[in-house]
């Protein structure tokens, strides 16, 4: 989610740098993140930096903020 947000922010600042293949890859990554949202809107399969690394059913405020950043950046670009 954070990488996708960074890409969308980048093409917002430098629209001429956007390529169709990179934008398509970002769209696929966006869809992949959205597929990992549960019914209440929380991102699933999140990383716990203290280990174990991936926890199903857990909630991560950091991961959730990355989803918000990703969505806002994509909306601002107009995609």
| pLDDT tens, N- to C-terminus, the chain (79 residues) | 999 999 999 999 999 999 999 999 999 999 999 999 999 999 988 876 666 666 666 788 888 999 999 999 999 999 8
pLDDT at residue 49, as a whole number: 67
CA–CA distance from 12 to each of 16, 19, 39, 53, 74 (Å)? 9, 13, 30, 32, 9
pLDDT at residue 45, as a whole number: 83
Q: In the numeric block, which tokens belong to residue 49?
A: 């930096």
Residue the block writes with tokens 């869809």: 31
pLDDT at residue 10, as a whole number: 97
Handedness of CA 20, 71, 11, 76 (dihedral sign): positive
pLDDT at residue 60, as a whole number: 83
pTM of the predicted structure, to 2 decimals: 0.86
């Amino acid at each position: 989610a954070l990488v996708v947000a960074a890409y969308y922010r980048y093409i917002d600042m430098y629209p001429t740098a956007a390529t169709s293949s990179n934008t398509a890859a970002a769209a696929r990554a966006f869809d992949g993140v959205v597929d990992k949202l549960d019914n209440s809107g929380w991102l699933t399969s999140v990383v716990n930096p203290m280990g174990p690394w991936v926890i199903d059913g857990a909630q991560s405020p950091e991961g959730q903020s990355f989803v918000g950043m990703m969505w806002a950046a994509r909306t601002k670009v107009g995609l």
